[in-house]
Amino acid sequence: MLVVCGTINYLDRGALSVANPAIRGDLNISLGEMGVLLSAFAWSYALVQLPIGGLVDRVGPRVLLGVGMALWSLAQAISGLVRSFSQFIWARIFLGVGEAPQYPTSARVVSNWFAVRDRGVPTGVYNAASPLGTALAPPLLTLLMLSFNWRWMFVAMGVVGLIAAWIWTLLYRDPDVSGLSAEEHAYLAYGSAPETPAKPTFAEWRSLFAYRTTWGMILGFFGSVYLNWVYLTWLPGYLEIERHMSTFGTGFAAAIPFFCGFVGSLVAGWFSDLLTRHSTSPVRSRKTPVVVAMLGMALFTIPAALVQSNVVALACISVVVFLANAASACSWALATAAAAFSVWPSATARISSTLARSRSGWPGRGSHGGAALSGPGFGAV
């Protein structure tokens, strides 16, 4: 269900990128304004990340993700009814608010149901929904748009999301209400830091920003997601406008890099767990692949922009997106490992435990700060 919900999440956020030229023509939006519109989602998404970390601890993933899906699906459907640039901005803002719980709740579900040593693969699996949804968006949404129009495309996706929200709420349950055996509870507790029932206060959450580890992860997420979001938001429009591909051809060509990203996320989850089992430091085994992948992203982006051949450019972009999603999968596993093994020197066991279970939202603020700047930045260029 997490993969299904995450795929719909990325289909919905990618709809604007797919319909970029059609929307600009219909609503008379400039490239600069489109950049602002593309980033409106990311600004609200980033701002909501920090309180989401606390909310998932208080209300649980079942309720929070269900409500979030309903909200973002309504916003997606309303996007098909807008008549002006300002109305579209507000629809995208509420889309970002609704989608914000998706990955913090996914991380909480994985930490609820898997021991620390085994979280790499399931993290890679749910993280793979990101490139999978992005890969499916160009061909699927292009066919919907060409068969009807861009407005009905948004409305149809909103209806699909509302159905998924209902199914998620109906099916998902936490381990503490699932009747697990003593052996299963012992498995879940293996390798985890001792937990206390008290909830962290806001002051305790805020104290995390006094540590270099926190800022290092935020800045790392910022750089990685900035580059990834340049492709996520602008690739279909770039191929159509600058590479002179047809709308139909773009729908399929733009899918190729993100299918590579889907594979990258799955491979990274497996490889990260493999390194952890053969390393004395779970944090280092998660961190090293992230650093290597981010260096590769920068290296292959340069020829992607300069080569004349569309085939070579798509090949380079595919490598970048593969590495970007590999870095993302390892990064979220790194966040839980850093919390579980008390990288924050004086952080209490309460805060470490909560970070390990909820993905906490603070790395997401850094990552989607980069996403928010990628829209207007690339549009202005």
Tens of pLDDT, residue by residue over 88-117, are 999 999 999 999 888 888 888 887 777 766
d(CA 108, CA 163): 23
Res 334: pLDDT? 63
130-183 confidence digits (pLDDT tens) = 778 888 888 899 899 989 999 999 999 999 999 999 999 998 887 776 666 667
Q: Mean pLDDT in the chain?
A: 78
State the average pLDDT over residues 341-352.
Answer: 47
Res 48: pLDDT? 85
Which residue would you say has higher pLDDT here, 374 or 223?
223
d(CA 27, CA 23): 6
d(CA 160, CA 141): 13
Which residue would you say has higher pLDDT here, 128 or 180?
128
Contacts of residue 282, defined as CB under 8 A and 6 or more positions apart, other chains included, come to 116, 117, 276, 337, 340, 341
Which residue would you say has higher pLDDT here, 250 or 50?
250
pLDDT of residue 348 exceeding 60, the answer is no
Confidence of residue 80 (pLDDT cuts 50, 70, 90): very high
Task: Indicate the pTM of the whole model.
Answer: 0.70
pLDDT of residue 376 exceeding 80, the answer is no
Res 284: pLDDT? 66
Contacts of residue 236, defined as CB under 8 A and 6 or more positions apart, other chains included, come to 17, 18, 20, 138, 250, 251, 254
Q: Identify whether the C-beta of residue 290 lies closer than 8 Å to the C-beta of residue 331.
A: yes
Res 359: pLDDT? 45
277-319 confidence digits (pLDDT tens) = 666 666 666 677 778 888 888 899 889 888 889 999 999 999 9
d(CA 219, CA 366): 6
Q: Which residues of 290-315 are buried (b: 16+ CB within 10 A; e: fewer)?
A: beebbebbeebbeebeeeeeeeebbb
The candidate with the shortest Cα–Cα distance to 328, out of 367, 279, 355, 300, is 367
Going 16 to 18 to 20 to 23, the CA torsion angle's sign is negative
pLDDT of residue 52 exceeding 60, the answer is yes
Least confident of 298-302, 309-313, 347-351, 373-377: 347-351
Of 67-76, 249-258, 352-361, the range with the highest mean pLDDT is 67-76
Helix (H, G, I), strand (E, B) or coil at 128: coil
88-95 contacts: CB < 8 A, separation 24 or more? Answer: 88/23, 88/27, 88/37, 89/36, 89/37, 89/40, 92/16, 92/37, 92/40, 92/41, 92/44, 93/40, 93/41, 93/43, 93/44, 94/44, 95/12, 95/13, 95/41, 95/44
pLDDT of residue 366 exceeding 80, the answer is no
Which residue would you say has higher pLDDT here, 194 or 170?
170
State the average pLDDT over residues 21-41.
Answer: 88
220-251 confidence digits (pLDDT tens) = 677 777 777 788 777 887 888 888 888 888 88
% of the chain at pLDDT higher than 70 = 71
Q: Which residues of 228-251 are buried (b: 16+ CB within 10 A; e: fewer)?
A: bbbbbbbbbbbbbeeeebebeebb
Res 185: pLDDT? 62
Res 130: pLDDT? 79
* 110: amino acid identity, one letter: V
Going 338 to 133 to 316 to 377, the CA torsion angle's sign is negative
State the average pLDDT over residues 258-282.
Answer: 74
The domains of the chain, with CATH numbers, are 2-173+195-380 (1.20.1250.20)
